A = this chain, B = another copy of it.
């Protein structure tokens, strides 16, 4: 980890802990104690339970908008097992701390690639953090391993003091949903349903220019109606009840209604497959 580089005084924090309990507060307390001059930018704590893939997408999307800084991310269904605790240095100079389960790698790629890979050593972290006399829990490494490591690395402790270098090739990477151009149209996977019920797909809008002004939408392998949809710029262009296809703010092909939930209309969530075809009669 490069220490000549000046990172921001921000620590971003992403989990699936929810904000109703003790977990987020406990981690932030540790950060406030060990990195008192740093402030926490909460990305989200409402990642669906154990949904590493959505956590990875959220981090990959938002981290590049941040100033170079430390990113702490804990979506960790394998806590306490032999999955490895990790710190990555990105090409842009960010540090990413979290479990080696696929959560961090896409963000590191979006931040200029994985420059250094470090395997965190809980015993060293806890010694450096002055926590050696307290028990290391088996189920809350956010508080006991990742937050202390994040605070120590953010404030400039050399990575070698609490981790051993590893090979970037050994990083856990998860398969990411792609899209297929078929004879019947483009088939893509739902990767996001936002609070408004807008549906983000796994296909880049720019790579699938819609030659026709309208398309049909079908949920693959469900006995549901085929929907007509119009390709539009934004929600406000749609008539009430009319389904629209648009380029969302992350460049993906997306589906929306105006003032209502497309996800509810189509009854889909993350992982569903959608087919988009040009309309014959358009």
Instruction: Give every chain B residue within 8 A of A248 (Cβ-Cβ).
Output: 137, 139-140
Number of interface residues of A (CB under 8 A): 68
Structural contact, B44 and A235, CB atoms closer than 8 A? no
Which residues of A pack against B, CB within 8 Å?
8-10, 12, 16-26, 28-30, 32-33, 36, 39, 41-47, 49-50, 57-58, 61-63, 65-67, 69, 77-81, 135, 137-140, 143-144, 192, 194-196, 233-237, 246-251, 259
Contacts A17-B195, A20-B44 hold; do A33 and B67 have CB atoms under 8 A apart? yes
Instruction: Give every chain B residue within 8 A of A249 (Cβ-Cβ).
Output: 137, 139-140, 143-144
A60 to chain B: closest residue by CB: B22
Contacts A29-B41, A62-B22, A66-B29 hold; do A81 and B236 have CB atoms under 8 A apart? yes
Structural contact, A32 and B41, CB atoms closer than 8 A? yes
Instruction: Give every chain B residue within 8 A of A57 (Cβ-Cβ).
Output: 22
Q: State how many angstroms separate the Cβ of A88 from the closest Cβ of chain B.
A: 18
Q: State how many angstroms separate the Cβ of A208 from the closest Cβ of chain B.
A: 16
Q: A22-B250, A140-B248 are in contact. List 16 more A-B contacts (CB 8 A).
A: A8-B32, A12-B29, A18-B46, A21-B58, A22-B62, A25-B62, A26-B65, A49-B195, A49-B259, A79-B236, A80-B233, A80-B235, A138-B234, A138-B247, A139-B235, A139-B248
Structural contact, A21 and B44, CB atoms closer than 8 A? yes
Structural contact, B236 and A30, CB atoms closer than 8 A? no
Give the CA-CA distance A37 to B143 in the complex, in Å. 26
